Each structure stands twice: as structure tokens, then as C-alpha cells.
């Protein structure tokens, strides 16, 4: 079966055909749909699929690294969102314990971001 990588997340997309036998691809996680309508585009797609089949193993290796990087970046975005939420939280009657817990939580979340950046550094160095 013909497959190509998603341009946004590198997930393998299965080739589908519409009612007019024109090829198209759908990436459910990204919500991206790719339709190839022209004759030249369909021919180029065929060549791309042949080329990708020849390079399937290297692509899979790179895809694994890309998935690792995306997972780390997704986690960092989530943590940064949480940090912003904690900082923006308005609590006029916070106890000293609440303030201390909030500061400790922020410190730990920032430490986690530092750890994720370190992991990204390690990925970059092993590929250099």
C-alpha cells in the first residue's frame, strides 16, 4: 500500500482514492487533508512513493527521532501553559503555605523544562 509522511507530524499516511479515482491523504491527528488532482501531480506522487519505498528504513529512523522531539516539545508547551496558569491565578486570601507551595510548584515545573531541554540537547548531539 502506498504511504507518505505527514508534512506536519511525520505520521505515515495511507493513500486513499476518491470516487473519481484521484489520490488523497488524511492525517487525523493534524486534521490535514492532501488532495492530488492534476495529472502531473499524480505522476509526481507515484515517483515520490517509489523513492520513499527505497528509503523506507532511513525514514523510519528519522521518524522515530522526530517523534521523540515532538513529544518533548509537546510536554514543554503543556508545562509552560501550566506555569502561566499558576502565575496568572489570582488568590487574594492565600496562606503562607499556599504561597510556598505555589513557588515550589513553579520551581519544579521550571526544573522539568530544563530537564526536557537537556534531553533535546542529547538527541541533537547523538545525531551530530
For 1-28, the pLDDT digits (tens) are 688 888 788 788 899 999 999 999 999 9
Residue 73 has a pLDDT of 94
Helices 39-54 + 56-88 axis angle, to 10: 100
3-state secondary structure 6-18: CCCCCCEEECEEC
Largest CA distance in the chain: 70
pTM for this prediction? 0.54
Residue 90 has a pLDDT of 81
Which tens digits make up the pLDDT trace of 55-86?
765 666 777 788 889 899 999 999 999 999 99
Q: What percent of the chain has pLDDT over 90?
A: 55
Amino acid at each position: 500500500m502506498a504511504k507518505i509522511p505527514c508534512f506536519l507530524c511525520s505520521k505515515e499516511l495511507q493513500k486513499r482514492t476518491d470516487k473519481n479515482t484521484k489520490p488523497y491523504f488524511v492525517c487525523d491527528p493534524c486534521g490535514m487533508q492532501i488532495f492530488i488532482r492534476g495529472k502531473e501531480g499524480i505522476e509526481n506522487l507515484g515517483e515520490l512513493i517509489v523513492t520513499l519505498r527505497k528509503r523506507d528504513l532511513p525514514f523510519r529512523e528519522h521518524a522515530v527521532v522526530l517523534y521523540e522531539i515532538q513529544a518533548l516539545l509537546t510536554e514543554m508547551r503543556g508545562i509552560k501553559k501550566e506555569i502561566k496558569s499558576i502565575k496568572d491565578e489570582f488568590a487574594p486570601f492565600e496562606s503562607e503555605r499556599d504561597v510556598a507551595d505555589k513557588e515550589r510548584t513553579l520551581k519544579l515545573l521550571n526544573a522539568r523544562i530544563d530537564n526536557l531541554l537537556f534531553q533535546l540537547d542529547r538527541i541533537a548531539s547523538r545525531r551530530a
